[in-house]
Chains A and B, each alone.
Chain A
């Protein structure tokens, strides 16, 4: 895998997109919620596509608080997992084809999750980004923020702690 010349752009993009698709597409709940991820290099933005089934208060109407929480949790967990496997699939240690075939790495487990609701979620698309504030071998702390029209006016923010999957050579 010695790389003297830079890889062709298509190869890099194909590998990264395949890894991301495998990670996200492997989780049924993410599909059910209509959450997708926009990738720029290693930076991920969660996209929650609005649907009527996401409404929590039909009178306003507003997005369900549980949807907002779930969106932030999914964004935090995928961003953490993504950062965790990035080096491995970039170096070739993690085979992207195996990933795509469903041989996914174990996901981090949520220990606790706190969400602050700052304003009501409007019936339209929402976006979220997560920041890993600490990535230890066993525990990780992640913050996430979701917004709709204005990036500077988030409608919810969250803090979460995760238990990292243990690297297990037996493939557990």
Chain B
């Protein structure tokens, strides 16, 4: 992946209003792999009794991260859209900790990119959630 492509992908992702609203930050990006972190925020709480972040915010993180991985792939010339996304919630994220998702394109065709992603909090040995998705490959 050229430096320019990484830069363009990074810039595009940073202009996504919803990702900004959730405070997402790209921590690594390139060659069909993306790592994005989302801070803990009381506004994203899904279970008021425990303070655990809502699954929906984790979905948004997984979707953004999957899309970013596709956009950073050398064989994906332009944008992408999610075709489907499945998320398995393994455990509740620990309140107070950021959630970091890592997505990789494990196969890409002319029209579809297949993505796997894992989300962790500080305890990186026990994922909070995993996801698999199919994304469109656009612009060629």
Contacts and interface: CB of A to CB of B under 8 A. Distances in A.
Main secondary structure of the interface of A (DSSP, over half): mixed
B98 to A, nearest CB: 16
A109 B90 CA distance: 10
Contacts of B83: 116-117
B17 A55 contact: yes
B104 interface: no
A97 interface: no
B85 A29 contact: no
A133 B21 CA distance: 34
A106 B49 contact: yes
Contacts of A64: 16-19, 60, 63-64
A110 interface: yes
A33 B56 contact: yes
Nearest to B132: A114
Interface of A: 26-33, 52-59, 64-67, 69-71, 73-74, 102, 104, 106-107, 109-117, 120
Interface of B: 15-21, 42-49, 53-57, 59-64, 67, 79, 81-89, 92
Which 10 A-B pairs give the minimum distances between C-beta atoms? A66-B60, A70-B56, A29-B54, A64-B18, A69-B59, A53-B21, A66-B63, A114-B86, A65-B82, A55-B17
